[in-house]
Amino acid sequence: MTTAEEVLAVAQRARAAAAALAPMPRAGKDAALLAMADALAARTAEVLEANRRDVDRDPDNPLVDRLRLDENRVTAMADGLRQVAKLPDPVGEVVRGSTLPNGLQLRQVRVPMGVIGIIYEARPNVTVDAAGLCLKSGNAVLLRGSSSARASNAILVQILADAAGGAGLPDGCIALVPGTDHESAKHLMRARGLVDVLIPRGGAGLIRSVVEESTVPVIETGVGNCHVYVDATADLDMAVDIMLNAKTQRPSVCNAAESMLVHAEIADAFLPRALTALKDAGVTVHGDARVASYSKDVVPATDEDWAAEYLSLDLAVGVVDSLPDAVAHIRKWGSGHTEAIVTQSLAASQQFVAGLDSAAVMINASTRFTDGEQFGFGAEIGISNQKLHARGPMGLPELTSTTWVVTGSGQLRS
């Protein structure tokens, strides 16, 4: 078979599995998720051996932190499946309803999307998170990871599919898309009619490629050029703590801060402390001229720095003369992911929220909280920066569509 034929065959099996999976009660899906978690824990050694082969193939890859697994990370993936099993089933939830004057009863009810394709880079944990969330929401899932994680993804999908099948879920409800080159991904992107929606997770290039090349509808997850704005009224100790957490707690993820803006009124009091703290944490600061005046270690910032999603221990820092200037800077350079303000002014926080156009806004909290698990959704399928269907961390409800159910007693339209 050609790669195209192999991809279409997997998609056709997933289509049949989705039809069988959609009406399954919650108890059956939850039992399968728990069986998948137990199987993952029991076969940890196999997962780690496969992952070691992936890491050894390119140990200098800058994304190796996202690729590498250890026992704790495998345990966390299994625990994530157990958490999803505990969450309410969105399928069948009544979103809204009413009774018309003619007696017709209307209900808008959540239903599975059908077949969801996930195209993603490096991170093997996405394989498990995506499988769990898609199955819980009644969807079959096609997983297309990157070649850098091919051994890890292959064993993970095998473990999950075996456990799901043993627990009574239909064959083909979890599958790895054949092939490791762009052609296999392109065939998935063109499988309109078999695949209902695609969700890309990865860098800007991957997301842009899926959006531009796909004939299947896409939920666009976005890159994270996240900002921390330190307002004139900020508690400076809090601002330093939030800045360090947002930048350094895990710099290689999309909700890590990439830029910090400081109100000019507190620059003298705040920036010397902040720059010292950042240097001690190993962060390279790319700053404007006013920031550079406080430290010889500051690298001059360019337009590329203001637009960058570094995913590293680098931070763009600038001084602004007002809150509106901060908002204007973020709207110009930001990616619409997450922005944070540190302030003691209610009016300033309200102005900041109202002025922005981002999926999440934090008030006196780290940008790192934009995360499905932190929001109480269990695992997440991704963070959407777009405005259609889903925005922000996407949990179970975001993986459903709706059906209108109309109940009558013989009404006829005149």
pLDDT tens, 115-154? 999 999 878 999 999 999 999 999 999 999 999 999 999 9
pLDDT at residue 207 greater than cutoff 80: yes
Closest Cα to residue 64, out of 9, 123, 22? 123
CA dihedral 189, 190, 195, 201 (to 10 degrees): 10
Question: What is the rounded CA–CA span in Å between residue 106 and residue 129?
Answer: 34
Could you give the CA distance from residue 47 to residue 51 in angstroms, rounded to a whole number?
6
Q: pLDDT tier at 63 (50, 70, 90 boundaries)?
A: confident
Query: What is the CA angle 15-19-22, rounded to 5?
Result: 125
For the stretch 230-254, pLDDT in tens is: 999 999 999 999 999 999 999 988 9
SS3 sequence, the chain? CCHHHHHHHHHHHHHHHHHHHCCCCHHHHHHHHHHHHHHHHHCHHHHHHHHHHHHHHCCCCCCHHHHCCCHHHHHHHHHHHHHHHHCCCCCCCEEEEEECCCCCEEEEEEEECCEEEEEECCCCHHHHHHHHHHHHCCCEEEEECCHHHHHHHHHHHHHHHHHHHHCCCCCCCEEECCCCCHHHHHHHHCCECCECEEEEECCHHHHHHHHHHCCCCECCECCCCEEEEECCCCCHHHHHHHHHHHHHCCCCCCCCEEEEEEEHHHHHHHHHHHHHHHHHCCCEEEECHHHHCCCCCCEECCHHHHHCCCCCCEEEEEEECCHHHHHHHHHHHCCCCEEEEECCCHHHHHHHHHHCCCCEEEECCCHHHCCCCCCCCCCCCCEECCCCCCCEECCCHHHEEEEEEEECCCCCCC
- Give the Cα-Cα-Cα angle 36, 37, 40 (nearest 5 degrees): 85
What percent of the chain shows pLDDT beyond 70? 99
Break the chain into its structural domains and give their ranges: 3-221+394-407, 226-369
**Nearest Cα to 37, choosing from 156, 124, 168, 134?**
156
- pLDDT per residue as tens digits for the range 290-341: 999 999 999 999 999 999 999 999 999 999 999 999 999 999 999 999 999 9
- Estimate to the nearest angstrom the gap between the alpha carbon of 263 and the chain centroid: 31
Name the CATH superfamily housing domain 226-369: Aldehyde Dehydrogenase; Chain A, domain 2 (3.40.309.10)
pLDDT digits (tens, 9 = 90+) for 157-174: 999 999 999 999 999 999
Phi and psi dihedrals of 293, rounded to 5? -70, -15
Token representation of residue 170: 């239909």
Can you give the pLDDT at residue 186?
94
Residue 265 binned pLDDT confidence (cut-offs 50, 70, 90): very high
Mean pLDDT, the chain, whole residue set: 94
Q: Which fold has domain 3-221+394-407?
A: Aldehyde Dehydrogenase; Chain A, domain 1 (3.40.605)
pLDDT at position 222 over 80 = no
CA-nearest of 133, 196, 131, 199 to 165 is: 131
> Does the structure show a pLDDT above 80 at 378?
no
Q: Which of 39, 137, 124, 41 is nearest to 84 (CA)?
A: 137
